[in-house]
Chains A and B, each alone.
Chain A
Amino acid sequence: EVQLVESGGGLVQPGRSLRLSCTASGFTFGDYGMTWFRQAPGKGLEWVGFIRSKAYGATTEYAASVKGRFTISRDDSKSVVYLQMYSLKVEDTAVYYCGNNYGYNRADSWGQGTLVTVSS
């Protein structure tokens, strides 16, 4: 059974940094891209970015709203994908989800989400 577990969320002040982790199990992690999504309170889903598998260079893509502030990386030896967030803004407040990236760039499984609150 595929399991994705996010961690690292919490309350952080504007301008500070935070790193989220997503630990995967139940599939061959290194063979797949991984995606981060977010959902602001009461709002819809937003694609944040993703990282390809090492077979595709572990290259990354980002939404314009986070490009230059967020970085996605992966550690295949630990089956973990990270979302490093810098220069956080109040509007980054959201539940952050990770998903595995399968064909058609679908997120076949999702984690339970971790809440990030950016507030002074």
Chain B
Amino acid sequence: DIQMTQSPSSLSASVGDRVTFTCRASQSITNYLNWYQQKPGKAPKLLIYAASSLRSGVPSRFSGSASGTDFTFTITSLQPEDFATYYCQQGYSTPYTFGQGTKLEIK
């Protein structure tokens, strides 16, 4: 199975900050990497797919990039509604594993 390792596991930031998380795959997944946002008690929401494609309707302050087996997720100018947990998921080969999540908290 492909292991997905997210870092950090938690992050404190302020409204207006720029934040970056990373996700590393244990082997090549080309660009089969998706990012989801989950708020407490709610279902996850897709934000980014194919490593860097923004899902329709998702604000442009969210972005993703890839370099080999390392993937980066960035939020520019944090908004109050962005405080949540973020998960990466590889869609390259089954089982389509998730990272353990990065919890973004208000500083």
A interface residues with partner B (beta carbon < 8 Å): 35, 44-47, 50, 61-64, 97, 102-113
Which of B56-107 touch A at CB < 8 Å? Answer: 87, 89, 91-92, 94-101
Q: Which of B50, B87, B96, B97 contacts A103 (CB 8 A)?
A: B50
Complex: A107 Cα to B49 Cα, angstroms: 9
Total interface residues in chain B, CB < 8 Å: 26
Could you tell me if A47 and B95 are in contact, using CB atoms closer than 8 angstroms? yes
B interface residues with partner A (beta carbon < 8 Å): 1, 31-34, 36, 38, 43-46, 49-50, 55, 87, 89, 91-92, 94-101
Known: A103-B50, A108-B55. A45 touches B91 (CB 8 A): no
Q: Would you list the 6 A-B pairs with minimal beta carbon distance, nearest first? A: A105-B91, A110-B43, A106-B49, A61-B94, A106-B34, A47-B96
Could you tell me if A63 and B95 are in contact, using CB atoms closer than 8 angstroms? yes
Q: Which of B45, B50, B87, B94 contacts A44 (CB 8 A)?
A: B87
Could you tell me if B96 and A105 are in contact, using CB atoms closer than 8 angstroms? yes
- Interface SS of chain B: helix, strand, loop or mixed? loop
- Least Cβ–Cβ distance between A38 and chain B, in angstroms: 11
- Least Cβ–Cβ distance between A35 and chain B, in angstroms: 8
Q: Which of A47, A97, A102, A106 contacts B97 (CB 8 A)?
A: A47
Could you tell me if B32 and A105 are in contact, using CB atoms closer than 8 angstroms? yes
Chain A residues with CB under 8 A of B99: 44
Could you tell me if A47 and B46 are in contact, using CB atoms closer than 8 angstroms? no
- Least Cβ–Cβ distance between B6 and chain A, in angstroms: 9
A67 (CB) vs chain B CBs: closest residue: B95
Chain B residues with CB under 8 A of A113: 43
What are 16 A-B pairs at a CB distance below 8 A? A35-B96, A50-B94, A62-B95, A64-B95, A103-B49, A103-B50, A104-B50, A105-B34, A106-B34, A106-B50, A107-B34, A107-B44, A108-B49, A108-B55, A110-B44, A111-B43
